[in-house]
Amino acid sequence: MTDQELSVREKQEVGTHESTRVGRTYVPDVDIYETTDSMYLWADMPGVDEKSLNVQLADGVLTIEGQVGVKEYEHLAPVYTEYKVGNYARRFSVSRDVDAEKIAARLTNGVLALELPKVERAKPRKIEVR
């Protein structure tokens, strides 16, 4: 095993100029994969539920925002913490090759999964040679 596999990465906090809500806002870690038919995005958003999640695509910008309830933590005096509680926000530029009408989202165990299907013109096609 390398050191890289065992290192702990600090959560990135969104800069104060981007914050639109009271409290801290963090950048969720994401994985993005592409196939010939779709792009897939997974965002790690622990503590976020479906009711406090906002996913939208407007003017070529995909916005992911999630709010975490902090009531359970308000009166606690932590002895040691690694889990930082706060909201999540991330924005991505999306090409016109994504079919906005067919984007699908689901949230499972704090992981947001998005499928961004490509429009037909963006998919590879076989060209017949005569």
Average pLDDT value for residue range 58-79: 85
Q: Is 80 exceeded by the pLDDT of residue 70? A: no
Cα distance from N-terminal residue to C-terminal residue, the chain: 54
pLDDT of residue 112: 97
Higher pLDDT, residue 59 or 5: 59
- pLDDT bracket for residue 2 (50, 70, 90): very low
Pair 24, 86: CB distance under 8 Å: yes
- Distance CA(19)–CA(22), nearest Å, equals 8
3-state secondary structure of 41: strand
pLDDT tens digits, 37-58:
999 999 999 989 999 999 999 9
State the pLDDT at residue 1. 44
Residue 21 has pLDDT above 80, yes or no: no
Give the pLDDT confidence score for residue 126 in this predicted structure: 79
Sequential DSSP letters for 43-69: EE-TT--GGGEEEEEETTEEEEEE---
pLDDT at position 12 is: 64
Domains, the chain, with CATH or none: 11-119 (2.60.40.790)
CA distances from 21 to 7, 44, 47, 62 (A): 31, 20, 17, 19
pTM to 2 decimal places: 0.74
pLDDT tens-digit series, residues 88-123: 999 999 888 899 999 999 999 999 999 999 987 767
